[in-house]
Amino acid sequence: MENVPPPSRKRAHSSLSDEDASRHHRPVTMSADPAPEASRPKRPPPGVDADTYFHNLYRTEIDFRQLALEDPSFAKLLKQGHLDFNDPSSVVQLTRTLLKVDYGLEIELPPDRLCPPVPNRHNYILWLKGLMDSTSDEDPGKSRVRGIDVGTGSSCIYPLLGCTQRAWEFIATDIDETNLEYAKRNIALNNLEDRIRLVPRTSSDTLIPLDDLEDARTADFVMTNPPFYESADELDALARKKSRPPLTACTGAPVEMVTAGGEVGFARRLVAESRRLRGRVRWYSTMLGKFSSVETVVEMVRGEAGVENYAVTEFIQGAKTRRWAVAWSFGDRRPSGDVARGMKEVSWGKVLPPRTEYEIALPQRPGLSAAVVGRCIDELMGGLALTEWRWDAEKLTGLGRSRENVWSRAWRRRQQRIEAGVEEAPPETEGGDAAACAIGFRISVVVGLDDYTVVFRWVQGCDAALMASLLAFLRSRVEKFKGVEGLEMYIVK
């Protein structure tokens, strides 16, 4: 795992959305004339209100001169505005300084264990926040989230970053005594003993410790950054191909760098455990360091685990360093598009999950207001035999659920036969309408400069064909809005 100069801490404006910024970071030239420290935003306390601050971190290359002004320990290592990335102690200090300045965290690291690059680890946490937020009915600021970090390392960096950004709690595991010793120290240094629980494991234990914890039988997510390599020989061979040896390979212990089967073998163990635990964890995930591993792991998830609700993303750091992540769930809550499909569709269409978001454009014209479009959508969906439909006229957003395809001609004909006594009605589903939900969706009207956009978002369900059928129905009806004059009097049939 290579330590490269991470992207910047300068808080410049960007045309990227917050979601894009969490995945794709565009490096810029290092500034020789840094802004004064007073111009930096104040770090907020953990919670949803802190999201903007953390989304804006590391969008551009690091301004080492500004960083040196804020941390004297880092300033001592800077030579004419440059940092020696061939010096492990400089890389360690950079990590400590970024954690101190941007997160208010203090850590200690042993000289013979991996030094985590902060922006790369930060990206994983941002992605998990999006995954949690977009697949939950609860307010992100109020929901209690428990994560499991498999192989937390000496820094315990993922739980530290997660607890700083959100009011989350973590179970952190490791099999290495040195890592456990330092992780315990770093948890205590930051007064997080009440939110991060360290669980020692052995190489023969399961990766996910839920069966061994009586007071923690479920979790919201599992995360892991597994060893990349299958053997020390593979590690050495790949290091020789690089222009310079990866610094983490110089300082990392074999237990952190090498595992049977490499990262794919590790992921296979995780997939196998997920098949047994299933819904006891909302989302299972793993970071990957090799381009070739992504397709293999997706095939495992879909083939061996039989899961079609998954997410794939790419983390980009600087000009060369890329990492990937795959997450999967046995539940039916679908993540948002930017979370589930965080890679270029042209290159990665083969491994990407089905889309969950679609847009239908409506040109603006006299007599057609956003309120009218919203009212017509409300009438359209409210006229169907959905198990749930709630429209918020102020927000121009509606949430619906259905147990079956109630918008099709086939369904209407069957209802006619049932009403005529020709066909028996299907039996009631145990658990009522909530248990019978085959698809959940959200429809919104967004006002643009010269058009309205009807946004369809698939939020629940595992049947992509059912989703496509509903989308086609909605699209055909919305298209009719374009040619109807006096739409205020239009009642959708």
Residue-wise pLDDT tens digits, 315-358:
986 666 789 999 999 999 999 999 999 987 667 778 999 999 99
The CA angle 54-59-63, to the nearest 5 degrees, is 105
Distances in whole angstroms, Cα of residue 433 to Cα of each of 227, 382, 402, 453: 45, 16, 8, 30
CA dihedral (1, 122, 314, 3) in degrees, to 10, reads: -20
The phi and psi torsions of 107 (rounded to 5 degrees) equal -140, 155
- In the chain, domain spans: 18-348, 357-427+434-489
- 414-451 pLDDT tens trace: 888 877 777 777 776 555 554 579 999 999 999 998 88
User: What is the residue whose two structure tokens read 């237990």?
Assistant: 255
Are 398 and 409 spatial neighbours (Cβ–Cβ below 8 Å)?
no
Beta-ladder partners of 286: 326
First to last CA, the chain: 59
Query: In terms of CATH architecture, what is 18-348?
Result: 3-Layer(aba) Sandwich (3.40)
In this prediction, residues 407-418 reach a mean pLDDT of 86
Put simply, whether the predicted model's pTM sits higher than 0.75 gets the answer yes
At 38 the pLDDT is: 43
β-strands 310-317, 281-288 pairing: unpaired
At 473 the pLDDT is: 95
Rounded to the nearest integer, the mean pLDDT of the chain is 83
At 169 the pLDDT is: 97
Q: How confident is the model at residue 112 (pLDDT cuts 50, 70, 90)?
A: confident
At 483 the pLDDT is: 62
Question: C-alpha 241: how far from its chain's center?
Answer: 32
Residue 387 tokens, joined: 């198990």
- Domain 357-427+434-489 in CATH: superfamily? Fungal kinase associated-1 domain (3.30.310.220)
At 142 the pLDDT is: 75
Comparison of pLDDT for 388 and 236, the residue scoring more? 388
Decide if pLDDT at 92 tops 50.
yes
SS3 258: strand
Are 475 and 455 spatial neighbours (Cβ–Cβ below 8 Å)?
no
The residue ranges of DSSP E strands in 211-333, in sequence order, are 219-224, 281-288, 310-317, 321-328
Distances in whole angstroms, Cα of residue 84 to Cα of each of 77, 78, 126, 204, 219: 8, 8, 29, 40, 41
The Cα–Cα gap between 184 and 383 comes to: 58
Distances in whole angstroms, Cα of residue 419 to Cα of each of 80, 364, 422, 427: 84, 42, 8, 15
SS3 60: coil
The phi and psi torsions of 278 (rounded to 5 degrees) equal 50, -120
Beta-ladder partners of 173: 150, 199
The Cα–Cα gap between 304 and 267 comes to: 12
- 438-484 pLDDT tens trace: 999 999 999 998 889 999 999 999 999 999 999 999 999 988 876 65
Decide if pLDDT at 68 tops 70.
yes
- 34-59 pLDDT tens trace: 444 445 667 888 888 889 999 988 88
The Cα–Cα gap between 117 and 21 comes to: 17
SS3 104: coil
Beta-ladder partners of 365: 368
At 480 the pLDDT is: 80
DSSP alpha helix (H) spans, 56-145: 64-70, 72-75, 88-98, 118-134
Decide if pLDDT at 3 tops 50.
no
Decide if pLDDT at 379 tops 70.
yes
- 117-167 pLDDT tens trace: 999 999 999 999 999 999 998 888 778 899 999 999 999 999 999 999 999
Phi-psi region of 300 (alpha: psi -120 to 50; beta: other; left: phi over 0): alpha
